[in-house]
Amino acid sequence: MIFKKALILPLLSIILVPNTCIKKNICDGSIDLKTDQSTLETDIEIIDEYLSENNIDAQTDSTGIRYIINKKGTGKPVNPCSRVSITYLGKLLSGKVIDLKKEPVSYSLDELIVGWQIGIPKINEGGAITLFVPSGYAYGKNGAEGIPPYSNIIFQINLLSTE
């Protein structure tokens, strides 16, 4: 009987502890913006040059991300704990497509790259945004499958719904 209690009590404590105690509370609105400052500055210069060469008028977020709100949306707003259903296109500044989702996909905002955590809340359900994301807020020095290290990325995102 002592053996059973020894196994059950630790299991109960794991089950009864709220998620916010197990993992960092991401719902407080804070986003980890740790990135190499000199790389960020270089990325921003490259993105600004791209925007200028292509006559693109984008807004500037305090983090350095450039964006265009194509459609604000009239539905529910997004918060840091939202689950979002989206379609999107991701491409390098060269124009090479790195990802395309024509069918809706759903993600928890806190699980996405920092650039999306910053950009998607700028629109509401039914909205659309174009993000020009510096590499440090995307896939950084490691890159990802099909994405070279230090890639600045353009994302065109349609926010279909948020929970």
* pLDDT, averaged across the chain: 85
Residue 159 pairs in a beta bridge with 86
The tokens describing 97, both together, are 């497509």
- Total-model pTM: 0.81
**Which pLDDT value is given to residue 9?**
41
Give burial (CB, 10 Å; 0-12/13-18/19+) of 98: buried
For 70-123, what is each residue's pLDDT tens digit? 999 999 999 988 999 999 999 999 999 999 999 999 999 999 999 999 999 999
63-to-42, 53, 106, 118 alpha-carbon distances in Å: 14, 22, 25, 8
For domain 24-162, the question of CATH label 3.10.50.40 is answered with yes
**Which pLDDT value is given to residue 27?**
56
For 44-57, what is each residue's pLDDT tens digit? 999 999 999 999 99
β-pair type (97-108, 59-60): unpaired
**Which pLDDT value is given to residue 131?**
98
**Which pLDDT value is given to residue 38?**
87
62 or 2, which is more confident: 62
The tokens describing 12, both together, are 């109960």
Residues of the chain above pLDDT 70, percent: 79
Measured in degrees and rounded to the nearest 5, phi and psi for residue 62 equal -60, -20
For 32-44, what is each residue's pLDDT tens digit? 566 678 899 999 9
What gap in Å lies between CA 139 and CA 16, rounded to an integer? 35
Examine the pLDDT at 124 and tell me if it is beyond 90: yes
**Of 98, 99, 83, 96, whose CA–CA distance to 159 is shortest?**
83
